[in-house]
Amino acid sequence: MRTAAKLRLRNGLLFISPWLLGFALFVVYPVGATFYYSFCDYDVLSHPVWLGLQNYRDMLTDTVLWQALGNTLLYAAVSLPLGLALSLGLALLLNQPIVLRPLFRTIFFLPSLVPAVALAMLWLWMFNGQFGLLNIALETFGIKGPIWLGDPAWTKPALVIMSLWGVGGGMIITLAALQEVPRELYESAEIDGARARHKLWHITLPMISPVLYFNLIMGLIGVMQIFAQPYIMFGGNGGPSRSALFYAVYLYENAFTYNDMGYACAMAWILFLIILGLTLIATRATRRHIYYAGKAK
């Protein structure tokens, strides 16, 4: 029997060996190296020179970095809740008896498939201050639209609107969860005289809470790393008054434009810690409200 256990261990490790190798090469080595470089002056071309905590100290006084971090947190604080609410709202809508439901599901979902670069191109055009569709639409309601991408006050709202257009993925996940909620729960609630909003609050939302939590965490990890759209639309310097300079964009600039890779590595570690911290806070804050069916908690 002991040989059978040994054989299983050997086979198991053999099967997962691609991941083990990848883990060593693409996770352990680079994460460790980034940590080391974050204490060094490093430009890839020459050997890293030990600096101690200098990179981290520089970060404290780097006003551009603080602006980028502020932009990123502000953007996240607005786009994440709005995105979650919209994906939930659309999913709830599609869970109702609606004519042409598959068509609407497709219409809501398709934008989330659009590649980031094409997305940026499309919205550069949509947000064009003079001929963009958005301002033309606003004009029909008698509203004079801003110049969006040219106005520091409107660059981040523009990016939020773009992100809302792409909530289709989260919507599909939520919709799938909604369809898993057992019908009997609603039926027995109806017998007890529950109204629609009671059913939503006391049955639907608790039952799909694991998926809402999943969307929250995935959204959080993604939103803190936003790069492609602002980089393509505003370039590496972050557009008017650096209003669209995000953390990952500034990190990229430091690494590949200024060749200050040590500093970029320090920034990367701080980003990692921020994401971990926010994930922890989000988990703590929501833990009591998440209901896992079949698991007594």
Partner 1 sequence: MKIRPLNALLLHVVVLLAGVAFAFPLAWMVLTALKPLEQTMTLPPVWLPHRLYLPDTDPPVEARQVGRFERPMVRIERDDTGETEWVPREYVSGGELRVISSTGEETARFVHVLEEIDASPEAPWYRLRAIHPDGSLGEERLLPADQVTRRISLRWDNFILALRAMRMFPRYLANTVVLCLLTVCGTVISCALVAYGFSRIDWPGRDRLFILALATMMIPFPVVMVPLYGLFRWLGWIGSLKPLWVGAWFAPPFYVFLLRQFFLTIPAALADAARIDGCNEFAIFRRVLLPLVKPALLVVALFQFMATWNDFLGPLIFLTDQRDFTLALGLQYFQSQHGGTEWHYLMAASTVVILPVIVLFFFTQRTFIEGISMTGLKE
Query: Which of 57-65, 145-153, 237-245, 252-260 is the region at the interface with partner 1 (rule: CB under 8 A)?
Result: 252-260
Nearest approach in angstroms of CB 7 to partner 1 is 8
Q: Which residues contact 265 (CB under 8 A, 6 or more apart)?
A: 34, 35, 37, 38, 42, 55
143-162 residues near partner 1, rule: CB under 8 A: none
Longest dimension (CA), the chain: 81
Return the number of the residue (51 or 267) whose C-beta is nearest partner 1: 267
**Angle 240-241-244 from CA coordinates, rounded to 5°:** 65
Q: Does 85 bind partner 1 (CB under 8 A)?
A: no
Question: Could you identify the residue written with the tokens 């869970």?
Answer: 95
Binding-site string for partner 1 from residue 103 to residue 142, where x marks contact by CB under 8 A and - marks none: xxxxxxxxx-xxxxxx-xxxxxxx-x-xx-x--x------
Q: How far is C-alpha 154 from the geometric centre of its chain's CA atoms? A: 20
214-233 residues near partner 1, rule: CB under 8 A: 214-215, 221, 224-225, 227-228, 231-232
Nearest approach in angstroms of CB 22 to partner 1 is 3
51-70 residues near partner 1, rule: CB under 8 A: none
Distance between CA atoms of residues 94 and 42, nearest Å: 52
**Bridge partner list, 41:** 49
Distance between CA atoms of residues 230 and 233, nearest Å: 5
Query: Which of 58-66, 69-77, 171-179, 237-245 is the region at the interface with partner 1 (rule: CB under 8 A)?
Result: 171-179
Query: Which of 53-61, 66-74, 146-154, 260-268 is the region at the interface with partner 1 (rule: CB under 8 A)?
Result: 260-268
Nearest approach in angstroms of CB 242 to partner 1 is 19
The amino acid at residue 151 is: D
Nearest approach in angstroms of CB 194 to partner 1 is 13
232-251 residues near partner 1, rule: CB under 8 A: 232, 248, 251
At 40, is the secondary structure helix, strand, or coil? strand
Q: Which of 60, 56, 260, 43 lies closest to 250, judged by CA? A: 260
Nearest approach in angstroms of CB 16 to partner 1 is 4
Q: Does 181 bind partner 1 (CB under 8 A)?
A: no
Q: Which residues contact 236 (CB under 8 A, 6 or more apart)?
A: 249, 252, 253, 257
Rg (CA), the chain: 24
Q: Does 186 bind partner 1 (CB under 8 A)?
A: yes
The crossing angle, in degrees rounded to 10, of helices 261-286 and 29-37 is 120
Binding-site string for partner 1 from residue 270 to residue 289, where x marks contact by CB under 8 A and - marks none: -xx--xx--x----------
CB 205 within 8 A of CB 286: no
Nearest approach in angstroms of CB 39 to partner 1 is 13
Nearest approach in angstroms of CB 56 to partner 1 is 15
Pick one of 84, 158, 244, 268: the residue that binds partner 1 (CB under 8 A): 268
Distance between CA atoms of residues 28 and 270, nearest Å: 18
